[in-house]
């Protein structure tokens, strides 16, 4: 790397993200505008892959709110990320930018990815984090000559293609490990008997849709959850009670705490409830916690409580199943519930954004019950196999972290002038930036000249209204009114809380 003035690579210059692109913010779509047909509304969840359900919009849209295949998108709230849209023409939702670079488009995408950590450091908010326009546009960047930008992209993509291939192998391995873990935990399906062998009768009739239940051994039995356990809902948060200092304040578990096969106790909130409510809902060792609502993949997920937090209770979106003694090990119940995602989906309710299942329905969950003498052996086998898969999964995660570190280092090397050599024949970046600034100034709407003080006094709306009447005053007011400033495409610091608390 050859150094120029100020220690920059030869021909490079300094700028900011705001000077290198136009950022068009999406449109806010009201629920009343959603449709089942028309253009898909592209939300942050659709970009991150956390939700594949689209709302649609059938109305007309300005070109700036249309997204076409290949458009560069940047989510600036909740989950910050850079994406290239690969789907059909869609409608741009709020909290997402359509980015129109003034420099090489592919180069700018890598530049945004490289600067994303710095952008994240400037985010605000505790609910849905976001970055303000001023903070975002002020992020400093180094700009190489246009010709070098294209050489950087070619060199980067050659290196990244090999890294991408390695990451795909790791991603496939991760998916296979998770699929194997799900099969291991589904102990009833793993021990299903062939059609020519005797099998246990199906569970009693109930208000539930039971599809394709496995053929469990004849020595086992099918039961409904309410037959083997006490199942109750949790406490609903009452804002008024939270202000009452006479009520006991106790820890309580939310949907975010109850994961599939484990409990996330890194942050346990507290709630004020009457003493009787706290006593009735107090969790005991061996209780199985299951989620009532959230995204589709959250229904029924859960794990076993081991009294990790003293006097904890649970919120209304979390069910508690307390197994009657000597019937079924709590861990086997939890494994089965985690393996019954399809049953929960069929028997639950699904809206556009959220899924839920009622207490009445979850009490009818069919449960396979092996003889008690077999349960410890089944649990031990599951634990051993899951431990081996956990170790394999940890190795995959180490590989993915190393790949991310390599990607970051490669981007840093490329975007600080250390990947490809500089060419003195390239047009300097200062010339490129001057041309960009000139073209931007040329496209700005012309400002209307302000009237002089003398002219303003001569055509004062108030004086004219006195001398010439109300109609003339209105006409002069229209002429003398200052021009309306062009609205910004980037909202101010405040944003709406639109994502479910996970």
pLDDT digits (tens, 9 = 90+) for 70-118: 999 998 877 888 999 998 999 999 989 999 999 999 999 999 999 988 8
Q: In what order do the strands lie in the sheet with 229-232?
A: 229-232, 318-323, 288-291, 302-304
Ramachandran class of 305: left when φ > 0, alpha when ψ lies in -120 to 50, beta otherwise: beta
CATH class in words for 221-369:
alpha beta
The predicted model scores a pTM of 0.71
pLDDT digits (tens, 9 = 90+) for 314-351: 999 999 999 998 899 999 999 999 999 899 989 998 77
* Pure H helices in 350-448: 359-362, 372-414, 429-443
Q: How far is CA 257 from CA 36, 305, 446, in A?
A: 34, 11, 55
What DSSP designation does 405 have? H
Helix 146-185 with 330-338: angle, nearest 10 deg: 130
The rounded distance, in Å, linking the Cα atoms of 2 and 422 is: 7
* 39-42/90-92 β-pairing: parallel
More confident residue, 122 or 180: 180
Half-sphere exposure of 308 (CA within 13 A, CB side): 16
The rounded distance, in Å, linking the Cα atoms of 152 and 154 is: 5
CATH number, domain 5-163+401-443:
3.90.220.20
Q: Which two tokens stand for residue 373?
A: 């003498």
Q: What phi and psi values does residue 333 have, to the nearest 5 degrees?
A: -60, -45
Q: What angle do CA 413, 415, 421 make, to 5 degrees?
A: 75
Percent of the chain with pLDDT over 90: 68
pLDDT digits (tens, 9 = 90+) for 127-184: 567 778 888 899 999 999 999 999 999 999 999 999 999 999 999 999 999 999 999 9
pLDDT digits (tens, 9 = 90+) for 423-450: 999 999 999 999 999 998 887 766 555 5
Asked if 3 and 79 count as a contact pair (C-beta separation under 8 A), the reply is: no
Neighbouring-strand partners of residue 249: 272
Q: What is the CA radius of gyration of the chain?
A: 31
Lowest mean pLDDT among 13-17, 45-49, 190-194: 45-49
pLDDT digits (tens, 9 = 90+) for 346-377: 999 877 567 889 999 999 999 999 999 999 99
Q: How many CB atoms lie within 10 A of CB 435?
A: 13
Q: Which two tokens stand for residue 355?
A: 């899924």
Q: What phi and psi values does residue 390 have, to the nearest 5 degrees?
A: -60, -40
Question: In a 10 Å sphere around its CB, with 0-12 CB exposed, 13-18 middle and 19+ buried, how is residue 318 labelled?
Answer: buried
Contacts 24+ apart (CB under 8 A), 380-385: 382/184, 382/185, 382/187, 382/331, 382/335, 385/184
Task: Say how many Å lie between the first and final Cα of the chain, rounded.
Answer: 47
Taking the C-alpha atoms of 375, 379, 380 and 386 in order, what is their torsion angle to the nearest 10 degrees? 160
Q: What is the DSSP string of 333-370?
A: HHHHHHT-HHHHHHHSEE-SS-EE--HHHHTT-EEEE-
Contacts 24+ apart (CB under 8 A), 172-178: 173/392, 173/396, 174/393, 174/396, 174/397, 174/400, 177/389, 177/392, 177/393, 177/396, 178/393
Neighbouring-strand partners of residue 90: 67
Write down the pLDDT at residue 450: 55
Q: What is the DSSP string of 328-342?
A: --HHHHHHHHHT-HH
Delimit the domains of the chain by residue range: 5-163+401-443, 221-369
pLDDT digits (tens, 9 = 90+) for 276-328: 999 999 999 999 999 987 777 788 999 999 999 999 999 999 999 999 988 99
Do the domains spanning 5-163+401-443 and 221-369 agree at the CATH topology level?
yes
pLDDT at position 475 over 80: no
Mean pLDDT of the chain: 86
Write down the pLDDT at residue 473: 31
Q: List, in sequence order, every beta strand (DSSP E) within 21-127.
A: 21-25, 39-42, 56-57, 66-67, 72-75, 81-84, 90-92, 96-101
- Owner of token pair 């705490």: 257
What DSSP designation does 9 have? B
């Amino acid at each position: 790397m050859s150094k120029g003035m100020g220690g920059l690579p030869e021909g490079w210059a300094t700028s900011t993200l705001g000077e290198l692109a136009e950022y068009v913010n999406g449109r806010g779509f009201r629920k009343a505008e959603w449709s089942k047909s028309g253009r898909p509304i592209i939300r942050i969840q659709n970009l991150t892959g956390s939700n594949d359900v689209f709302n649609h919009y059938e109305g007309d849209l300005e070109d700036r709110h249309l997204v076409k295949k290949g458009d560069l998108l940047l989510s600036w709230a909740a989950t910050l990320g850079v994406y290239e849209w690969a789907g059909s023409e869609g409608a741009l939702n709020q909290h997402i930018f359509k980015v129109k670079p003034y420099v090489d488009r592919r180069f700018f995408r890598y530049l945004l990815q490289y600067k994303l950590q710095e952008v994240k450091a400037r985010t605000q908010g505790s609910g849905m984090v976001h970055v303000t326009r001023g903070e975002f546009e002020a992020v400093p960047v180094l700009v190489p000559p246009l010709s070098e930008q294209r050489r950087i992209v070619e060199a980067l993509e050659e290196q990244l293609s090999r890294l991408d291939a390695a990451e795909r192998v790791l991603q496939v391995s991760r998916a296979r490990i998770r699929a194997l873990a799900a099969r291991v935990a589904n102990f009833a399906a793993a021990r299903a008997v062939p059609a020519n062998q005797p099998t246990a009768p199906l569970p009693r009739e109930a208000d539930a849709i039971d599809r394709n239940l496995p053929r469990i051994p004849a020595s086992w039995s099918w039961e409904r959850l309410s037959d083997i356990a006490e199942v109750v809902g949790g406490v609903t948060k009452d804002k008024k009670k939270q202000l009452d200092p006479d009520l006991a304040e106790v820890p309580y578990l939310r949907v975010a705490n109850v994961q599939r096969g484990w409990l996330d106790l890194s942050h346990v909130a507290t709630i004020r409830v009457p003493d009787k409510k706290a006593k009735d809902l107090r969790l005991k060792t061996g209780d199985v916690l299951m989620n009532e609502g959230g995204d589709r993949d959250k229904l029924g997920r859960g794990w076993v409580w081991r009294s990790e937090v003293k006097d904890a209770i649970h919120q209304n979106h979390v069910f508690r199943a307390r197994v009657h003694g000597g019937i079924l090990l709590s861990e086997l119940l939890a494994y089965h519930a985690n393996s019954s995602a399809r049953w929960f989906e069929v028997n639950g309710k699904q809206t556009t954004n959220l899924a839920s299942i009622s207490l009445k329905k979850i009490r009818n969950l069919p449960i396979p019950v092996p003889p008690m003498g077999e349960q410890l052996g089944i649990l031990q086998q599951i634990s051993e196999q899951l431990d081996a898969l956990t170790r394999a999964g940890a190795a995959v995660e180490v590989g993915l972290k190393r790949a991310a570190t390599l990607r970051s280092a490669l981007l840093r090397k490329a975007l600080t002038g250390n990947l490809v050599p500089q060419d003195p024949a390239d047009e300097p970046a200062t010339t490129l930036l001057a041309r960009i600034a000139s073209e931007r100034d040329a496209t700005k709407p012309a400002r209307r000249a302000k009237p002089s003080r003398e002219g303003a006094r001569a055509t004062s709306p108030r004086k004219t209204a006195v001398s010439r009447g109300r109609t003339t005053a209105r006409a002069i007011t229209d002429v003398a009114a200052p021009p309306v400033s062009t609205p910004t495409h980037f909202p101010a610091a405040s944003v709406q809380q639109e994502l479910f608390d996970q």
